Homo-oligomer: A and B are copies of this chain.
C-alpha cells in the first residue's frame, strides 16, 4: 500500500505483542539486525496465532534485507530456534529465581503456575513452535528439552518439600505433573476453536479467571486435603 504507514495503535489487533526479553548484552552492529529479526518474528507469530510467517514478511516488518536471515541465523529454522531459545531462557531463569526464594510449597506452586500462564500470554506460539522445531529435525528434540528436564527436577524438589512439610500428598509423579500443568496452561492459548465454541473470548479477564481456577485445581489436587 502506498503512503504513510498507519500508526500502530490504529491496527486492528486484539492484543499487541510485547517486546522480547532483552538479550544479555546490549546489541551492537549485526546484533542489532539479529534483534530486529527476532522481534519481528515474535510479533508476526503473536499476531497470526502461531502461523509461521514467510521470510519476506519477517524482513519487511524488521525493515532489513532478506539476505540478513541467512547471515544472522543460517536459515529461517535457525531464526525460529533462536527465538524459542530466547523465550525459554527467560522462563527458566524465572523458575530458578522462584526455587531460590524458598517460599512455602503451595505459594511456590501458585507463583509457578501464574508465571507459566503469563508466559503463554507473552509467547502464545510457543507450543506450536516447539513441535515444529522438533518435527523439522528428528535428532533435535526441540525447546521442550531445555524446559522438561529442569522443570521435572524443580517439581521433584517442590513435591518432596511439600510432602515433608505436610502440605502435599505423597505419590505424585513429577513427570506426569509436568504434562498436566503444561497441558492445562497451554490449552487456553493453543485451542482457539474450543475457547470460541465455549462462548468465551481470550482476553485478560479470561486469562485471570483461568489462572485462578488452575491454581485452585492444582493446590487442591495435590494438597493433603482436610
Contacts and interface: CB of A to CB of B under 8 A. Distances in A.
A24 interface: no
Interface residues of A, number: 53
A85 to B, nearest CB: 15
B220 A173 contact: no
Given A173-B209, A223-B225, A184 B191 contact: no
A121 to B, nearest CB: 15
B220 A180 contact: no
B180 A213 contact: yes
Contacts of A225: 220, 223, 225-226
A124 to B, nearest CB: 13
B209 A217 contact: no
Contacts of A173: 209, 213
A192 interface: yes
Contact of A217 (B185, B193, B216, B221): B221
A131 interface: yes
A47 to B, nearest CB: 15
Interface stretch (A1-9, A64-72, A137-145): A137-145
Most buried by B among A182, A184, A223: A184
Contacts of A218: 217, 221
Given A193-B142, A194-B148, A196-B141, A222 B217 contact: yes
A207 to B, nearest CB: 11
Interface of A: 127, 130-131, 134, 141-145, 147-149, 152, 169, 172-173, 175-180, 182-188, 190-200, 209-210, 213-214, 216-218, 220-223, 225-226
The 5 closest A-B pairs by CB, nearest first: A183-B187, A221-B221, A134-B193, A225-B225, A148-B197
